[in-house]
Structure 1
Amino acid sequence: MSFGDEHDGQTRTRLPDSGPGTPRPPARSSRSLIAVVGVVALLVAAIALANRGDGTPDSATRGGAAAGQGTPSPSAAPTAPTGVRPVTGKNGAIPAGFARDEQGAQSAAANYAVALGSVDMFQRGPRETIVRALHDPAVADALVKDLNDSYSAGFLANVGLQPDGTAPAGLTFVSRTIPVGAQVKDYTGDTATAEVWCTGLVGLAGEGSTKPVTTTWFTITEKLKWVGGDWKVVSSEQAEGPTPVNGDNRASVADDIAKAVEGYGGFTYAR
């Protein structure tokens, strides 16, 4: 499957003010199933984490060169955006104001995948903010309710988190989705179906963690609708892969992973 650009074959990025991540609790059947299926599917990496038995603490993982050095910076300085009609607006911390064309739909889908796979999705208040910012209002209410039910205290405990979705003292919860490429499969002007090929990080970093940070590969398909002057998600689905062969890099110790997550900000993605 090709994930190349419909236009020039390049993906361009600019740094935002904050950084994002990945995840899926059990799918639920309800009147909002069509809307829920996709976002709930984004939580698949977290389910794998929750089901993983206690293993060797992350701190005991083979050592490697430090991934982040010096004083962590909460956000990186933004660079000048490139591309045709780059994103200039924001809806809270989430990029907004995408172009009403295929390139804009790809950019919206990539940025929405990042937000829906972030650490904030594990906390009730921030999760509702994200869902309402990204989705068609016609599906948002039901989706918020279903996701609140799915992110139960029991599910969060299985992932290794506190009942409020935060990490235990001394540990850093990592959940990031990183788009690798995107393409539009269908476009009408008012609707679009975009695929985003992603890799993700999920787990707990820190001394004594029994759920070390791991990587996943998946493709998210988002059905988008032009609503109120921007692209909004109507539904989404996730499929595993395409997954490349693992390289020979040695796994870093938990503290290095935690420093990297705290020190390296995420990106705003645009073509």
Structure 2
Amino acid sequence: MSTSGEHGYPDTGHTRTHLPGGDPYGGAPRRTPRSSSRSLITVVGVVVLLIAAIAFANRDNSPSTDQPTKNPNHPAAAPTAPSGTTPVPTTENGIPTHFPHTKQGAESAAANYAVALVSADILKPQRRSEIVREVFVVDQQAALTDKFNKAYNKQFLSNIGLDQNGNSGAGHTYVSRTAPLGTKPTAYSASAATVEVWCTGVFGTAGEDSTNPVTSDWFTMTLQLRWENGDWKAAGFSQQDGPAPIPGDGKASSADQMAKAVEEYGGFTYAR
């Protein structure tokens, strides 16, 4: 789901966050497939925003009256410090659910939804429908399911070395994993919230003869959330590039090392 560098989408008439002026509507995770063909990079890498019509209507931008719970055993919440709040104890289809009805709960929901929307699972038809159902508000689910299915079609999957079920070929492992580095609420009320999630991630296909090697990416995903049926759910989202650091001079790992890392290291549940 994204407007930044490592994701790309079929041409839906919109771009993810490579748009020079930005997109006022929701967007989907971006995936920029790497290829030895510059024409493929141009077509798939530039057209990177899948969803551009998830307008979040009736957003309440009233100032927040919600204050984080203070715990004498933990430092006060700050942009670079954890709040000390326990992560949510429940999941549905592998996605954390039942976030607290607080500003911190909205931040936690946004961070975990960012991970799900830019995961390799979003490329698998069955898992995609489960992700949409768990992440989005009910009135957006049907439209989003249709848009995702059209975007992640057989041709698009083939371009990044996957079959129609989102599986990689023999000797290859498709990698798409995101790690939120921080969250920032820009609007909050009891019924709605807007949260920016700063992320980094690794994307591509690990394999000795891969034409889409695994690379890193930095992007910010903005999610518009709504309190619905006792939980925070996304009503729309968009992505843009960065902020990104100057690349380091670390030695790149082998394809086997990257594949094993994804298989052997589990993900996290994120809480603010």
Query: Which band: TM-score by shorter chain?
Result: 0.7 to 0.9
Of 33, 38, 42, 2:26 maps to 38
Corresponding residue for residue 67 of structure 1: none
Shift of 1:54: 5.2
Q: Percent identity?
A: 46
Shift of 1:248: 1.3
Report the 3-state secondary structure (helix = DSSP H, G, I; strand = E; otherwise coil) of the residue aligned with 2:26: helix
Corresponding residue for residue 149 of structure 1: 150
- 1:25 is the counterpart of 2:13: no
Corresponding residue for residue 135 of structure 1: 136
- 1:191 is the counterpart of 2:211: no
Instruction: Give the aligned CA root-mean-square deviation in angstroms.
Output: 2.2
Deviations along 1:129-174, one digit per CA (max 9) or x if unpaired, are 1011110000100100111011111111111111221101111000
Corresponding residue for residue 78 of structure 1: none
Report the 3-state secondary structure (helix = DSSP H, G, I; strand = E; otherwise coil) of the residue aligned with 2:261: helix
- 1:158 is the counterpart of 2:159: yes
Corresponding residue for residue 95 of structure 2: 94
Deviations along 1:53-99, one digit per CA (max 9) or x if unpaired, are 259xxxxxxxxxxxxxxxxxxxxxxxxx9833531111221101111
After the TM superposition, list the runs of 4 or more consecutive aligned residues in structure 1 that deviate by more than 3 angstroms. 26-30
Unaligned runs of 5+ in 2: 1-5, 15-24, 39-81
Unaligned runs of 5+ in 1: 1-21, 31-36, 56-80
Corresponding residue for residue 228 of structure 1: 229
Partner Cα distance (1:205, 1:185) in 2: 37
Is the Cα–Cα contact under 8 Å of residues 23 and 175 in structure 1 kept in the other structure? no
TM-score (norm 2): 0.74
Q: Per residue, is there more helix in 1 or in 2?
A: 1
Deviations along 1:199-221, one digit per CA (max 9) or x if unpaired, are 11111112221211001100000
Is the Cα–Cα contact under 8 Å of residues 39 and 116 in structure 1 kept in the other structure? no
Shift of 1:39: 4.3
Partner Cα distance (1:210, 1:146) in 2: 27
TM-score (norm 1): 0.75
Q: Which amino acid aligns with 1:100?
A: H
Partner Cα distance (1:167, 1:118) in 2: 14
Report the 3-state secondary structure (helix = DSSP H, G, I; strand = E; otherwise coil) of the residue aligned with 2:250: coil
- 1:266 is the counterpart of 2:267: yes
Deviations along 1:26-58, one digit per CA (max 9) or x if unpaired, are 46369xxxxxx5342x12xx2x215x3259xxx
Closer, same or farther: CA 246–156 of 1 in aligned 2, 3 Å? same
